[in-house]
Every structure is written in structure tokens, then in C-alpha cells.
Structure 1
Amino acid sequence: MPKILYLIAEDWFFCSHFLARAQAAQKAGFEVVVMTRVGTHADTIRSHGLRVLPWNLDRRSLSPISALKSIFQVWRIYRSERPALVHHIALKPLLYGSLAARLAGGVKIINAPVGMGYIFSSSDWRARLLRAPIRLALRLLLNPPNSKVIFESPDAEKAFVEEHTVRAEDARLIRGAGVDLALFTPTPEPDGVPTVVLPARMLWDKGIKDFVDAARQLKAEGVQARFLLAGAPDTANFAAIPEETLHAWAEEGSIEYLGFRSDIPDLMRQCAIVCLPSAYREGLPKALLEGLAAARPIVTTNVEGCCETVIEGVNGLMVPPRDPARLANALRTLLADRPRRILMGQASRKLAETEFSQETVIAQTLAVYAEWPGT
């Protein structure tokens, strides 16, 4: 039985974005191993018959010593487990994993450069400092011999190929993690005051502050609506918004801060609009795919990844990033027009069904795994 090993920084992200694909790989005849930083979701992974190997990775650390220790740990696992195929997900896993695989030898590699917007789009000094060395590291490690690279956005694929970081023949496009169309079902918008929900990790670069400013403006104008923030700060991310800031915004009364929510399907049913005003290059935000499947109109920014989910004026509206006034205008337009919201929601569901189903993503991923005969 061939073995596939997923190398991923966080167990919760694996459950959210890759568990369904890993289960499909298992059904296709793979032994599946997940190497990750063990948090609160490792038992969920194990409950599906997948093996979990702890990885001592600190996503915030910039220490070369810490990096070497993490790489050495991966190398030892690759030497002992001898996976036929490794699937590296996001920046540190693909850099560390590709180097470890090269040192271990004989490992087929899939690299998935998702969630790299912070390095390439953030104005944070750490991101600016890291940008040049990360670009060099990607040129050396992203697309080694006997590897494929999976992109979530055609814009990202085009950019990496044109920069000669990835060979065109090794690039593959799989648009996001897909969405479970049976879990996120279309339901009528609730009566009463309409609700706008922003479901995301509470990061500055997700446009959270722009959403708050837009809500303040609309509330000051007397617009009747609720504005919800659903998600927790990702404390391992340099762009995390402090909890005290989120609670202070809520105390002002313009927004409601819900914190982490596990009942996202219910939350989607309660809302009228799904909003994500991200200011950086996304992969393909799963929250927006879930909004599509729930038949809700989308308000987002015209940045890489987010723009994939909107046909302008058909199932949603797009605004420039870091522009709370334009964001307020878009939200005002839809909040004032329920019939338009309903039509847009129907178009969102159709887009989810034709472009972003979980079944499509699983089939495309398994097709990449099958590109190596005997794997």
C-alpha cells in the first residue's frame, strides 16, 4: 500500500481544508499520515483512521536554529516512514519539507503554496524583510525535480510560471478546498433586520478594521443591520488582532464579536450577506465558498483569491482593498435591496455547484496523486 504524508503547520487547518481529500486518498488505497503541530484537532484526524505525527513547528519563529530543528525532524520522519508521496501545504511546510525530501532522497513531492499573502502583500516590517530571501528559497525549493505544484488561483499560477519559479508543465490548478454542498444548503434569508457576517481569522490583513469602519459609517447613517465578526485571532500569525481590540470594537456597538464558531452552516443560514474585505493575496477563502453554497451574496475585495468567488453584479460586489468607504457603499446597496440579495444568492449557489464542489476538488487532487505510476 503506497503511503502519502501530509506536512502541514496546523491540525485545525488540515481538518478544515484537507481532511476530505485525505479520506478520499485513503479510500483510493493510500496509507495516510499527517505530520503537523498537534493542537486541538489531532483526535479528530485520528478518528478518521489517519495517523498523526507531532511536528515541533513554531510558525512565528524567525530563528534559524528553530528552522533547522524543524527540518531535521521532518528529514528523520521521511527517512523512517519512506512515504511514496508527500503533500506540503503552505509556506514553511513546503520549504522545510522540500529541503528534507531532497536530503532524504527518493520522495515524490506535491507543493501547495497556499496562504502566502502575508509575506508578499503585508506592509509589516517582518514581511518586507523576509520577502527577498523567501523568493530566493521558493526558486530553489518550490518545484524541484519529480514534483508538482498546486495553485488555488490562476493568477498565482501565472505569476509563479512567468517568474520561472515553477515549470509550466508541473503547475496544476485546483481552486480551493471545495465546499460540501450537502452541509451548506440554500435556505431563505431570515426576516427582520438583515445580518452581515465576516467569517475569518481575526487578522489585520483580512480587512477586519475596514469592516468595522464600514459598519460604524452605516450605523451612523441609521442603516438597520447587524454586523458580525465570526472567528478567533490566529495568535501564531504576526497579523493577529488582539482580543482586547476586538472586544473594544464590540463595546462601541457597531459590530458584534462572536469569537470562534464551529456552527458555520447555521451562521450562514442566519445572515443576509457574507463579507470578506481581505487586503492581501488569498488562496481561495473557504468562508466565501461556504457563503456561495449557502446561497448568500458576497461582498469582497478585488484581490487574488477573493475575486474568484464573485461575478461582479451577478452574485456579489467587489471593492478595492483598504477602502472602508467603498465597502460601506457596497454593503449599503445590498442591505437596501432584499430582492437583489435573493437573486444574487441564487447565482452564488449555482457558482458553488458548477465550480467549487468538494467532489470536484477531491477528484482533481486524486488525479494529481495518480500522475506518478505506481503511487
Structure 2
Amino acid sequence: MMKILFVGNSGPIFLTHRLPLVLATLKAGHDVHVALPPSPASPQIAKHDFKFHEIPLSRSGINPFFELRSLMALYFLYRKILPDIIHHVTLKPVLYGSLAAHLAKISAIVNTISGLGYVFTTNNFKSKMLLILVKRFFRISFLHPNKRIIFQNPKNLADFLSYGLVDKKSTVLIKGSGVDTETFKPSSEPHSVPVVMVASRMLLDKGICEFVEAAREIKSEGGKARFVLVGDVDLDNPMTISTSQIKRWVNEGVIEWWGKQEDMPEIFSRAHIVSLPSYAEGLPKVLIEASACGRPIVTTDVSGCRDTVINGENGILVPSHNSKALAVAFRRLISNPQLRQHMGEAGRQIAVNEFSIEIVIQKTFAVYQDLSRSFSIQPLH
């Protein structure tokens, strides 16, 4: 039995993206710990059989005092638990956690780069200055001698290699967080006006404005379709769209806003087309889930998003920041139910064959075993 600690920066995202891996590690007989900042999801997380630790870690804050406090909190937690492996997920846990693990003399670490965040994707002065600091911090954080860095798409991996932030032998490509293909399964299309859906946090860099503009263009021409946003605003993210702005779009009659939803398989069953016009992603779980539900995808030809779609087979790729190209793709699918069915069936097969949660867990377990031969791998049932 090994002691394994998972560190993330969001309780809600942990529940949707990481919980199956953690529970599989627990089922394999290991002593599992989870460290996350306090959130409304904390009571639900604490109900599980692993040991849960709340840590002071903001997702996007840059106050030097608070950031140093976060780093020290991780260091003292690591010294207290003394795990055999620490698995950090997302940029800030990777940055601070790797450095804390090096200082605490932890024997092995795994870092998952699940997307590069607004610092890498936003082209303004503040982001450029932060990017310089982040790159330097990465070089220091990645000094740990016994590490593996998991990337979710080839572009992010290539970027880190070109920046000189990682050496190739310490990197692993595992596409996404996995999808439960038994929970997310195909259903028949609703017999209604086609519903085009974006399910994500309401952020500018998710392409929400481009989606709204494409919807406005199609509706102005008399197009028969409903355009739906599913998800909440994210006040901790500087790219968030305000609630008042979304309500203005709703009042204009361009889109519907269903807010945050828990039963996503049921929500996808009410859609005909699922879109994510994002500017960049790690590997968007929502598109894999929609594919597993047999829905055609319209997404952007950018890192992460393009890795979920074979263009013309299970969906359509369009340029990012381009509402007109988005509208063209939507029109094509809105008007062609046979094409939607073909793409939905193809997407289901891709989700099962390439992105199932079982595949992702076994590949991650192989990383743990590569770092420590004491890690046991048991078949998943």
C-alpha cells in the first residue's frame, strides 16, 4: 500500500473531473489523501472514504502574501502526510506544489497540465508579464528529480518542450480526464426545433460572445433553432462574463440561459448540437461527454478542442474568434438531421475507443507505477 495525495484548485471541478481516478486509486488499496481549497463542494467531497484536507489556495489570485501562504501551507501539509506520490492538477497546484514537494523531499510527483489558462491565451500587457514570471517559476518547480508531467493534448506538450520547461523523458500524453460511457450514453434526438448548446463556465475565452453573435446572425435570417447556454459565471476568473450581460442577451431573445446543471446526460439529451468555440483548452471533457451521448460537435481548431474531433466525421472544426464560420457550421447541422445522426454515432465510437474513464485511469496508474514499483495496478470492474 502506498500513500498518495491529490492536490487541486477547485472542489467542483474535482468532483466532475478527478473523483473517478481518486476512487479507483482508493479501490486499488492505497492510502489516499485529497487537498483542495474550501468550496461549496467540500461537504460532498468529505463524505468519501479518502482523507480530505482543506488548503488556502486561490485559483487566480496574485497577492504575494496570500501566494506565499499557499506555498507554505502545501509544504507543511506534505511534511505532515509524507506521501509516496503527490499528484498535482492545474497550473497553480503544479507550480506551488512541485516546489513544496521538492523542499519537503517527497519521493515522487505527478503534474497534470490540464490547460494553460488565461495567462497563456490572453494577449495583454498583464498576461505577458505574468507569463514571463510563470515560465521562470515552472523551471524552478520542475527541478524535482523523480517526476512525470502529464499533458492532455499534443500542442501543450510541444509548447512546454519548445519553452525549455520540461525534458521529453519526463512527459506523458494522456488525452483528457476520461468519460464514463455508461453514464453518458446515446439517446434519440428530441422531436423539436434544433437546440444548439454550449455547456461551460461563462467565460470570454470559452467563445461565448462568438456563440451569441452566431446565434444572432442565424436568428436575424429567420433560422429555426434555439441557442442555449448551460453553466454559471465564474467570479474567480478574470475572463468571466457578467450575469447582467447574459441576461441582456436573454432579454434580446438571442439565447436561453439554463444556468448551472447537475444532470448533464439529461441536459445533453435535450440538445441536437453541442458546441464549444473556445480559444484554447487542455482537452474539454464536455465535448467528450457530448460525443458519448451521440451528439455532433462544433468546436474550434485550437489546442485541446481539435483533439476531440475528426473534422467532418464526428463534428466540425472552425477557426477561433470567428462567429461567421461558427454560424456556417451551425446552419449545416441544423438543416441536416441525417448528418447529425452520422456524426453523433461516430462521436460515440470515438468516446468509447479513445476517451473512456477506464483508459485514462489505467494510463495514469501506469505513470504511478513507473515512478514507484510499489504501486499496485488492479483491473477495473
Shift of 1:159: 2.4
Deviation digits for residues 61-85 of structure 1, max 9, x if unmatched?
2111111101111111001111111
Aligned to 1:146: 146
- Answering whether residue 96 of structure 2 is matched by residue 96 of structure 1, we say yes
In 2, are the aligned partners of 1:5 and 1:86 still within 8 Å (CA)? yes
Q: Which ranges in structure 2 are unaligned for 5 or more consecutive residues? A: 376-381
Distance 1:123 1:164, change over 3 A: closer
Matched position secondary structure for 1:69 = helix
The residue aligned with 1:163 is 163
Classify the secondary structure of the residue corresponding to 1:366: helix
Instruction: Supply the distance in 1 between the matched residues of 2:255 and 2:181 (Cα, whole angstroms).
Output: 29
> Is residue 365 from structure 1 mapped to residue 364 from structure 2 by the alignment?
yes
From the superposition, tell whether residues 326 and 143 of structure 1 become closer, same or farther in structure 2 (CA, over 3 Å). farther
TM-score, scaled to structure 1: 0.97
Query: 2:378 corresponds to which residue?
Result: none
Question: Quick one: which amino acid aligns to residue 277 of structure 2?
Answer: P
Deviation at 1:348, TM superposition (A): 0.5
3-state SS of paired residue (2:274): strand
CA separation of 1:341/1:173 partners in 2, compared to 1, >3 Å: closer, same or farther?
same
Matched-pair contact (CA < 8 Å) for 1:230–1:260: yes
**C-alpha distance in 1 between matches for 2:365 and 2:46:** 21
For 2:143 and 2:246, the matched residues in 1 are separated by 40
Name the structure 1 match of 2:339.
340
How far apart in 2 are the matches of 1:27 and 1:124?
Answer: 46
Structure 2 SS opposite 1:60 = coil
Q: What's 2:379 paired with?
A: none
Per the TM alignment, residue 117 of structure 1 is displaced from its structure 2 partner at its CA by 3.1
- Report the Cα distance in structure 1 between the residues aligned to 2:149 and 2:119, rounded to whole angstroms: 19
| 2:108 aligned residue | 108
Corresponding residue number in structure 2 for 1:214? 214
2:6 aligns to what? 6
Q: Distance in 2 between matches of 1:73 and 1:117?
A: 23
On the 8 A contact 2:34/2:53 being kept in 1, the answer is yes
In the alignment, what sits opposite 2:324?
A: 325
Q: In structure 1, what is the equivalent of residue 122 of structure 2? A: 122
How far the C-alpha of 1:154 sits from its partner, in A, is 1.5
For the 8 Å contact 1:307–1:318, the answer to whether it is kept is yes
- Give the secondary structure class of the aligned counterpart of 1:360: helix
Question: Which residue matches 2:263?
Answer: 263
CA contact under 8 A between 1:8 and 1:36: conserved in structure 2?
A: yes
Q: Distance in 2 between matches of 1:136 and 1:235?
A: 28
For 2:243 and 2:319, the matched residues in 1 are separated by: 27
1:248-327 correspondence runs (5 A):
248-279=248-279, 281-327=280-326
Q: Deviations over 1:186-214 (max 9, x none)?
A: 11111120101100010000000000000
1:187 aligns with: 187
Q: Does 1:226 align with 2:205?
A: no
Mapped contact 1:310–1:317 kept (Cα < 8 A): yes
Unaligned runs of 5+ in 1: none
After the TM superposition, which segments of 4 or more aligned residues of structure 1 sit over 6 Å from their partners?
none
Amino acid corresponding to residue 144 of structure 2 in structure 1: P
State the percentage of identical aligned residues: 39
Cα distance in 2 between the residues matched to 1:208 and 1:305: 17
Q: 203-212 or 56-65, which moves further after superposition?
A: 56-65
Distance (Å, rounded) in 1 between the aligned partners of 2:260 and 2:311: 30
Give the conservation status (yes or no) of the 8 Å contact 1:45–1:51: no
Letter of the structure 1 residue corresponding to residue 334 of structure 2: L
Letter in 2 for 1:115: G
One-letter amino acid matched to 1:334:
L
Residue type of the alignment partner of 1:30 = H
Q: Which residue of 2 aligns with 1:67?
A: 67
When structure 1 is superposed on structure 2, of 178-187 and 34-43 the one drifting more is 34-43
- Count of aligned residue pairs for this structure pair: 374
Alignment correspondent of 1:30 = 30
Range moving further from structure 2, 207-216 or 239-248: 239-248
Greater Cα shift, 117-126 or 298-307:
117-126
Residue 174 (str. 1) matches residue 174 (str. 2):
yes
* Partner Cα distance (2:62, 2:47) in 1: 34
- The Cα of 1:161 is off from its aligned counterpart by 2.3
